[in-house]
Structures are given as structure tokens and as C-alpha cells.
Amino acid sequence: MPTGPVPTTRRRHRHHDRPDTDAAFRRAASLPDGPEREALRKEIVCAWMPMASRLARQFRNRGESLEDLEQVAQLGLVKAVARFDPRMGTAFESYAVPTIVGEVKRHFRDHLWGVHVPRHVQELRNRVRRAHHELSHSIDGKSPDVAQLAERTGLTPAEVRTGLAALDSYAVLSLDAELTDSDSGYSLLDTLGDAEPGFDRVVERESVRRRLRQLPEREQRILYLRYFRDMTQRQIGEQLGISQMHVSRLLTRTCTRLRKQVESGRPAARRRPGPAAPARARH
């Protein structure tokens, strides 16, 4: 009789957190919507909670607490139980695992990125990050360059650079963080410029310049005497031979019309020169 090791058949690993809920799923599928069906679904969710926690632990140490990750995974489990149809002939675990993992990944994508990054860029970042980690442990601890990362990931150099640029987008620094390699005590906030009010003044002056040139000569002169010579309405009236009330009405009407033209963005109307057209004020 031959002796020697007895050949064994390798069996697929069966997680201890895989309960037998096939009968419960079939029962729930046969029930109409109502309290009984809802209670049965809650029992199924509770039975599969350990698996959801196990999947959540795979995402530890990525900037989110384990408690929050478990809550997100449990939410994915609830969705999986509600959508699963046992009549399709698929095992619940095969359906639930990608549903739960997808829910956790969406949580990272939608809530934990400091800067909004498109999904395809996030995927490039993940591939580059894994390759960078693997190569850093195999190339004498040196940081791999773009060419090595491209060869490892199968990406183009441009895609690798995009992934590298996104590595720092996952978390943002506080504006109170001190500048690196600096003993001056300056923070990032100190490097930001202040708003320059003069820029708005330039835009306003250029917006009204041409419209001022199109005003009748008397209105140009009134504006000049009032806002550039700082004369009172009474002094302007005496110089032009009109009443102070008339000066006030002309100032209000002219300024209101100019303001409406600038705010609406309408182009300045071109005056049609004629034989009696007065010369433009030279003040």
C-alpha cells in the first residue's frame, strides 16, 4: 500500500462573518411592503453587520475614523439588502461586497478631498500612489521618477504627472501653518495678497470715461466744477447764470443716467457732430 502525503483539495476561504440568510431573503421577497417585511430586513442587516465592519477596516489610516467608516459601510449594507433580489440566483455576499466598498469609496471621494478633483484624476492618483509606495521599497529607498512610475503603472508620463499633482489635493494645510524651511515665523496667510481697491477704481473710471465725453458741454462743465474743482452748487449756479436748484437737478439727472448706463453695460451713444455742436469741454 503506497505511503506518502494524502493529496488535499484546496477549498475557497469562507469568512466567519457570512451568515446563512438565504431563507430570510426568500421570505422577505415573498412578503408585501409593510412592517413584517421591514422587520425581516432589519434582522438580515444585523446578521451581516460583522462583514460590513470587516470591509470598513480595510480603509483604516486614510484620514477617516474607523467609527465613521463603519457607519458608511453599514449604510451600504442597508442599500444592498434593500436592493438584493434572491430570485436572480446570485449569492448575497457577491452582491453586497462591491456595494459596500463602493459606498465607502464614494464617501472618500465626496467628503474627504480638500480640493475638488475629477474622478479620473483621483483614479490616476491612487495608481501612482500605490506604484510610488511599491517602488520606494524596492529601489534602495529612493523616490522613483516619472519614467519609473509610468513603466510600473502603464500610464503615460503626462498621466503620472497629473496623478502626482493630485497627491497633495487630498488634504489641505491651514493658512496658519508656518512656511517650511523658514525661521521667520511667517505663515501661509502672510503670503496672500490683499484686495487692491485701485483696480475697481480703474474699471469704474474707464467705464464712465467715454460716456462723460458724450455729455453736452454744460453738463460736462457742471460735473467738472462740482467734482474736480469742489465748488458748491450755489457757486456753480452763479458762474453759469442759473439757479442752484437747476444745478442740483442737472447733477442728479446726469449722474443717474451715467450710473444706469454703466450698470447695464450699454455702450456710450455717439454724438452726431453738426454745425451747431458745441466744442468739448477742455477742463
Sequence ranges of the domains in the chain: 22-111, 119-173, 197-264
CATH number of 197-264: 1.10.10.10
Do 119-173 and 197-264 come out as alike in CATH topology?
A: yes
Distances (CA, A) of 164 to 91, 112, 174, 206: 39, 18, 21, 44
**Which grid cell is 191?**
503670503
From the list 22, 11, 187, 161, the residue with the least C-alpha distance to 94 is 22
- How high is the pLDDT of residue 78? 94
- How high is the pLDDT of residue 200? 79
- How high is the pLDDT of residue 37? 92
Distances (CA, A) of 270 to 15, 186, 212, 259, 267: 83, 54, 11, 17, 9
**Which grid cell is 157?**
508620463
Using a 10 angstrom Cβ sphere, with 0-12 exposed, 13-18 middle and 19 or more buried, the burial of residue 131 is buried
CATH T-level assignment (fold) for domain 119-173: Arc Repressor Mutant, subunit A (1.10.10)
Alpha helices per DSSP H over 35-65: 35-57
- How high is the pLDDT of residue 172? 60
Class at the top of the CATH hierarchy for domain 22-111: mainly alpha
Per-residue confidence of the chain (283 residues) as pLDDT tens digits?
A: 444 444 444 444 455 678 889 999 999 989 998 999 999 999 999 999 999 999 999 888 776 788 989 999 999 999 999 999 988 888 999 999 999 999 998 887 766 665 666 778 878 888 888 888 888 776 565 778 899 899 989 999 999 998 888 776 666 666 676 666 656 667 767 777 777 777 878 888 888 888 888 899 999 999 999 988 999 999 999 999 999 999 999 999 999 988 888 888 755 554 444 444 333 433 3
Please tell me the pTM assigned to this model: 0.43
